[in-house]
C-alpha cells in the first residue's frame, strides 16, 4: 500500500471517529466545528485521488491541523475514548509524515563519495554543464572559505516557480512544532528554527521517531547512528531523543549561530560531497533558484540529472528565522 493510500485510509478512520463524536455530543458549537472539520477532511480525500506525494504531504499537514481544531472544540464530556482516538490518529499521521519523508529524503553526500576526484574528462564535462546552473560552489569544507558564499546564496535564494505550495508545507510544519523546538532550545541553546529544520529534513516532522534518523522511539536507533541514546531506557520521549541527537553532534557547545554558520552546520548534516561535483547542495537549496539538478540517489552514487524532491533547508530557515 502506498503512502497516499495509507493517508486516505487514516483520514477515513478519523472521519468515522468524528462522526461518532458528532452523534454523541450535546454541544451545538462543537457540532458545528466537527461538521466544518469533517467537510475539510472529505475534501482532502478527494484531492488525494490525483495527488503527487508532495501534495499528499501538504494534505497530511492540513488534516493534522483540522484534527487539532476538533480537539479544541471538545469542551464538554462525556468523551468515552474520543480524545484517545484522536490522539492515535495524530500519532499515525506523524508516522506517515516520516514515511513520506523517507521516500523523498536525500542520500548522504559525504565527501568520501568522491574521494580522489572524478576522471578528468568527466570533470571537464561536469564543469561545462554547470554553466547553466549559474553558480558553482567552492570545493572546500572549511567554514572560513565558505562563509561569504553562504551569505551570498542565502541573500539571493528565492522559491522556484511552482514550488511555493511545497515550501509552505515545510514552513507550516515547523511553525506547528515550535513549542517542542523551543523546549529543546531552552535546554541546549540551539535556536528553535534550527531544531525545526533538522526535524523536517531528517525525520519528516515525525514526533514519534528519533531526531537522529527517524527510527521509532520505542527502542534505541537501529540505523546510523546506531544504538542511540546510549543512556536511559526505551521508550524515549521525543524531547529526550532530540537532546541526545544534538549533543551527539556537539551542537550544545556551538557558540556561533549566525546564518552562514547555521547553513554550514546544516550542510554538514548531509555531507559536503556535492561541492566536489560542482553542485549547490539540494539539502540547502532545493526548490530555490540556487539549485537546478544533480543528486546522490544512494550512498556514493551521484546522478547528474536527478532532481531533489525535498525542500532545501535554507528556504525553510529563511521563512521562519527570527
Q: What is the pLDDT of residue 126?
A: 39
pLDDT band at 171 (very low <50, low <70, confident <90, very high): very high
Element (H, E) at 303: strand 301-303
Rounded Cα–Cα distance for residues 264 and 259 (Å): 9
Q: Between β-strands 301-303 and 295-298, what pairing exists: parallel, antiparallel or unpaired?
A: antiparallel
pLDDT for 239-288, tens place per residue?
999 999 999 999 999 999 999 999 999 999 999 999 999 999 999 999 99
The lowest-confidence range among 41-55, 165-179, 186-200, 240-254 is 41-55
From the list 264, 270, 281, 207, the residue with the least C-alpha distance to 240 is 207
Instruction: Give me the percent of the chain exceeding a pLDDT of 70.
Output: 92
Range with the largest mean pLDDT of 48-62, 101-115, 190-204: 190-204
Instruction: Give me the percent of the chain exceeding a pLDDT of 90.
Output: 72
From the list 24, 43, 20, 171, the residue with the least C-alpha distance to 89 is 20
Q: Does residue 122 have a pLDDT over 50?
A: no
Cell numbers 477532511 correspond to what residue? 41
Range with the largest mean pLDDT of 42-46, 57-61, 172-176, 261-265: 261-265
For 315, counting Cβ atoms within 10 Å of its Cβ (0-12 exposed, 13-18 middle, 19+ buried), the class is buried
pLDDT for 47-105, tens place per residue?
888 777 777 888 888 899 899 999 999 988 888 899 999 999 999 998 888 888 877 78
What is the rounded average pLDDT for all residues in the chain?
89
Q: What is the pLDDT of residue 3?
A: 83
Contact 286, 170 (CB under 8 A): no
Crossing angle (nearest 10°) for helices 313-320 and 164-176: 60
Cell numbers 512544532 correspond to what residue? 177
Rounded Cα–Cα distance for residues 241 and 217 (Å): 8
Mean pLDDT of 191-200: 97
pLDDT for 218-233, tens place per residue?
999 999 899 999 999 9
Element (H, E) at 297: strand 295-298
Q: What is the pLDDT of residue 124?
A: 33
Q: Does residue 125 have a pLDDT over 50?
A: no
Q: Does residue 118 have a pLDDT over 60?
A: no
Phi, psi dihedrals of residue 91, rounded to the nearest 5°: -60, -45
From the list 44, 82, 48, 76, the residue with the least C-alpha distance to 62 is 44
Q: What is the pLDDT of residue 129?
A: 34
By residue count, the chain amounts to: 322
Q: What is the pLDDT of residue 186?
A: 98
Rounded Cα–Cα distance for residues 222 and 296 (Å): 23
Rounded Cα–Cα distance for residues 252 and 143 (Å): 18
At residue 28's C-alpha, the angle toward residues 26 and 32, to 5°, is 125
Q: What is the pLDDT of residue 61?
A: 85
Amino acid at each position: 500500500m502506498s503512502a497516499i493510500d495509507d493517508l486516505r485510509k487514516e483520514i477515513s478512520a478519523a472521519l468515522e471517529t468524528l462522526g461518532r463524536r458528532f452523534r454523541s455530543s450535546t454541544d451545538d458549537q462543537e457540532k458545528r466545528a466537527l461538521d466544518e472539520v469533517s467537510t475539510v477532511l472529505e475534501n482532502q480525500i478527494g484531492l488525494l485521488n490525483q495527488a503527487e506525494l508532495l501534495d499528499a504531504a501538504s494534505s497530511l499537514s492540513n488534516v493534522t491541523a483540522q484534527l487539532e481544531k476538533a480537539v479544541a472544540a471538545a469542551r464538554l464530556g462525556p468523551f468515552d475514548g474520543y480524545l484517545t482516538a484522536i490522539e492515535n490518529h495524530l500519532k499515525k499521521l506523524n508516522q506517515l509524515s516520516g514515511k513520506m519523508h523517507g521516500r523523498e529524503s536525500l542520500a548522504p553526500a559525504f565527501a568520501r563519495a568522491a574521494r580522489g576526484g572524478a576522471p578528468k574528462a568527466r570533470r571537464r564535462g561536469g564543469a561545462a554543464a554547470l554553466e547553466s546552473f549559474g553558480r558553482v560552489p567552492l570545493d572546500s569544507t572549511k567554514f572560513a572559505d565558505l562563509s561569504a558564499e553562504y551569505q551570498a546564496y542565502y541573500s539571493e535564494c528565492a522559491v522556484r516557480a511552482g514550488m511555493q505550495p511545497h515550501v509552505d508545507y515545510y514552513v507550516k510544519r515547523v511553525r506547528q512544532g515550535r513549542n517542542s523546538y523551543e523546549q529543546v532550545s531552552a535546554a541546549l541553546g540551539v535556536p528553535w528554527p534550527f531544531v525545526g529544520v533538522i526535524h523536517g529534513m531528517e525525520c519528516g516532522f515525525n514526533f514519534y521517531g528519533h531526531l537522529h534518523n527517524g527510527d521509532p522511539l520505542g527502542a534505541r536507533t537501529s540505523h546510523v547512528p546506531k544504538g542511540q541514546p546510549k543512556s536511559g531506557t526505551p521508550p524515549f520521549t521525543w524531547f529526550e531523543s532530540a537532546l541526545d541527537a544534538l549533543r551527539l553532534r556537539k551542537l550544545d557547545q556551538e557558540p556561533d549561530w549566525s546564518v552562514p554558520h547555521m547553513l554550514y552546520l546544516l550542510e554538514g548534516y548531509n555531507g559536503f560531497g556535492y561541492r566536489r561535483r560542482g553542485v549547490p547542495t539540494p539539502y540547502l537549496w532545493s526548490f530555490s533558484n540556487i539549485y537546478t539538478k544533480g543528486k546522490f540517489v544512494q550512498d556514493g552514487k551521484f546522478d547528474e540529472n536527478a532532481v531533489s524532491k525535498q525542500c532545501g533547508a535554507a528556504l525553510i530557515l529563511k521563512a521562519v528565522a527570527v
